[in-house]
Structure 1
């Protein structure tokens, strides 16, 4: 987990990056201009800054120069822009930026760039930690709990070698009441339990849930929102 400062005058960009990086377990601070960025940098000492180049008051390159001159470039800085030239990117790198992200920012590129930048300042095991708490692996019992809670299965747990396991398909029965529901409603009940299980299993890591379920991250975000799933709450182990 890292403390990351996102500096961008566009609210939509700030909110999007905040959502994505928070779901990866990072603490995200936002600033809409250079003055706010200075304050957050001085007071909170972020581990990484994502800095937009084009801002109305002071542009990102000028702020980067200021930090470098004042010996405040103590954290990696990744520049962001949708209109910057190669010369601008080269200049920012010369001043001290560690990388450059072109807008619109591709999700996988963002996560890869953030991880690479954080490798400079954080222990490797902390870079890929998806939440602030270390979440133990959940057994298949968690799926049984989620399924029983939503009423999908009227199934008894089987205990094998002292561990609860999900009964086989021959032993599991759908709640008859669900056959009277419209297909979409019955499907939503199952999908909610399914995604909550995987969020718990991965400690709330959207990257891992995306890999396990085969859904692209953007689609996954929309799906969870439509199902009314709170990612942080679903990924908690309840401690």
Structure 2
């Protein structure tokens, strides 16, 4: 009887060892999930309905750098923050803001983004104080620094994307559109808006887009790996190359 039990245990031993090792193997290849704001050219759907855009490509590069899959989830800004808060996604690329600071930790600068203010042709704008008394639209949840955000004389209006903002600007429902330079000019090209239809632009501020990691992300080793991978992409110019590709042919001023 004892001999039979011993043989049974020996026969099962390889399977037991494989089962014990499985969680460690799974942890090594754990897929990462990233939220990408659906704001062109950073996040959008291509002609086949697949997720694309500059930030999508950056996360694809990160996955190759790390040797592990990165699943990209496209979402509006508020939804992306909710996904970070719940831990359903691990990370996101965005400019710093009080809203994202509540749900994620900054994990390193990725690239520098200049925000501009632009109105209709004939609207003289040279500095932030020129926006006082005007209806100024920006994408919901974005933050362009205290001088702009805290000026009570500016009538802030939140929009879903730059395409909506340009429509409202040309229809005279708002006076000024504020947003990242590539995003505004990309939307102009998409809508066929001529540069002559809009006035001169001035910079509201320039800030680093950061990699933000969910506060629910509790794997310190993997978090360090992600930060290292993103830093490598920035150092060797691969992120700048992606941004340049999506900015190609856009107006410079």
Structures share fold, TM-score greater than 0.5: no
TM-score by length of 1: 0.30
Higher relative contact order (CA 8 A, sep 6+): 2
Name the structure with the higher helix share: 1
The structure having more radius of gyration, on CA atoms, is 2
Q: Which has the higher strand share?
A: 2
